[in-house]
Structure 1
């Protein structure tokens, strides 16, 4: 008589994680540490590109509009830089002209969820709904259905969230350079944004910026100009994903 023994399936952890890392100094790559590095690699997520090449990826989180997105887009157009804009449902429905301009000018429209919730508190079904409703809203404006980059709201996630995103076909993207730029009532001047952008530059850096910031809008032109002078080139997340799919050993 044969006795079968089925081992229980281990549940995927939903312990809440707040994205964080050791910031770059002297152009050395930022580092999230072994635990986070291993976890996000397991699910194909990333927070920087090839740390052997002086490439830069600009990303912006857009929850609402504060009057500076057009200026940011003007600067990107001037420098022929393609960025990624992670948008909420509110931003899409409130600013369809900006969404269309972003898409028409070749920028990536990323998914930042519809209501900007803590995804670790949501069921798999609700996570799917949060992301799909953004996709539908973007499609209504742009006719495009390639909105498959995800940035968890506030950088809050868990292994379960990464797993659900992967199952839904999303590429989760974090960041390796950021600073407090979203507080619209305490902007500190363009030099504050410029200095933070410059001092955190490193090969493969993914910047997280916010277009609600007056400082960012006023600093971006000079920052891009000076980063190019330092030998950096600007690429899009599509370029980075293509490189990762080629299994470059340095990524």
Structure 2
């Protein structure tokens, strides 16, 4: 080996020896082997959210490869419930280390809205603030400090936004929005009375029962009915329209019937009075959620011919528009303009007036005496099956158990026969 190579080798060996010696010294002097070792675990400076729990990471205390953490004396003035800078001092064998703990507030207040969001109100109504709360973990109740930007103009229909914001003493800010829709008020609709030339004789709807499942004849011709946007049959197709009238009977199986319809994914039409819609708001929303359609069955279930005159025309209109408004308050969307006269009692004048309010009126091509609560399942099922026909509009009342008990089997049989079910709002009335 040349002299130069030997120099390189010796130099390399020397460097390795020096590094190895340095490592050994570090292990002995800085690992607590030859001298006591006291060092922090975790960060030297820590931040803690005020009023939140704080876990001290502690220290390492070692000597002769033994752990002496339990012998360390700890002095702390940390108050996690008060913002500030605190010190934790650790002492052991004449050694001292310190940790700085900063208790800070970086959490924004909790700002919550009361009432509905989104909120729908009617045109020209006064906006009523439903309220809000603002609570901060450190500053407490800040509800009185909430700032509100409100640009709602109830005189103009449209969508508006109310912005709520609050800031705590340490500058943390929260904000939330309430969406407000100003909707047209159905009760603003009026009729200018000029209907004396139309016959106001009340006639209850009747029909000839279907034989051999043929389409049947009603009390008035389809051509006359269509003149007033009214019908009693759907198109000549394998489709059946189930309709249920409900005004708030003491005994009703309407919710059980709805469960059966939902099980079969069948959509039906429910003609309901205003008070029923108002008193059963959760159920109404559930019906709409499942795709059923709610029709207008008036406010008080009056004979509408008694209101079809110049002195009571406003009451006539209110029977319909107040029901529509209540539906909109409950569901949050406009009610479909489909109507059924209470007890099927109508006149040419009332049909004209309802039509001028923009509604389609629906009678029926099949019904039976199902008002009694003791109608049996067998009786209900027999009449439902015996008289089905293309485009049939069935009028049923949920006040008897028979309709409920027969519904599942009836739907199953009709589906096997290739029939489908639909809601009456899809019927096109051809004039």
TM-score, scaled to structure 1 = 0.87
Q: What residue in structure 1 maps to residue 245 of structure 2?
A: 61
Structure 2 CA distance for aligned equivalents of residues 230 and 177 of structure 1: 18
Match for residue 325 of structure 2 among 132, 136, 147 = 136
Structure 2 CA distance for aligned equivalents of residues 104 and 83 of structure 1: 12
Secondary structure, in 3 states, of the residue corresponding to 1:219?
Answer: helix
Match for residue 401 of structure 2 among 210, 214, 218 = 214
Structure 1 CA distance for aligned equivalents of residues 317 and 290 of structure 2: 28
Structure 1 CA distance for aligned equivalents of residues 375 and 259 of structure 2: 22
Q: What residue in structure 2 maps to residue 193 of structure 1?
A: 380
Q: What residue in structure 2 maps to residue 4 of structure 1?
A: none
Measured against aligned partners, the alpha-carbon deviations of 1:7-53 in whole angstroms (never above 9, x if no partner) come to xx9711111111111111110112115x44332121121111112x1
For structure 2, which runs of at least 5 residues remain unmatched after alignment? 1-194
**Structure 2 contact 247–272 (Cα < 8 Å) conserved:** yes
Structure 2 CA distance for aligned equivalents of residues 74 and 220 of structure 1: 10
Does residue 46 (structure 1) correspond to residue 231 (structure 2)? The answer is: yes
Aligned residues: 232
Does residue 125 (structure 1) correspond to residue 125 (structure 2)? The answer is: no
Q: What residue in structure 2 maps to residue 167 of structure 1?
A: 356
Alignment of 1:65-84 (within 5 A): 65=249, 66-84=251-269
TM-score, scaled to structure 2 = 0.52
Match for residue 292 of structure 2 among 104, 107, 129 = 107
Deviation, structure 1 residue 68:
1.5
Match for residue 274 of structure 2 among 89, 104, 111 = 89
**Structure 1 contact 39–159 (Cα < 8 Å) conserved:** no
Q: What residue in structure 2 maps to residue 5 of structure 1?
A: none
Deviation, structure 1 residue 147:
3.0
**Structure 1 contact 57–234 (Cα < 8 Å) conserved:** yes
RMSD between aligned residues: 1.7
Q: What residue in structure 2 maps to residue 13 of structure 1?
A: 199
Does residue 25 (structure 1) correspond to residue 219 (structure 2)? The answer is: no
Report which structure shows greater RCO (CA 8 Å, sep ≥6).
1
Judging by fraction of residues, say which structure has more helix: 1
Structure 2 CA distance for aligned equivalents of residues 240 and 224 of structure 1: 20
Moved more, 21-30 or 230-239: 230-239
Structure 1 CA distance for aligned equivalents of residues 246 and 375 of structure 2: 20
Structure 1 CA distance for aligned equivalents of residues 204 and 221 of structure 2: 10
Structure 1 CA distance for aligned equivalents of residues 270 and 292 of structure 2: 7
Secondary structure, in 3 states, of the residue corresponding to 2:242?
Answer: strand
Evaluate the alpha carbon distance shift between residue 195 and residue 126 of structure 1 in structure 2; reply closer, same or farther with a 3 A threshold. same
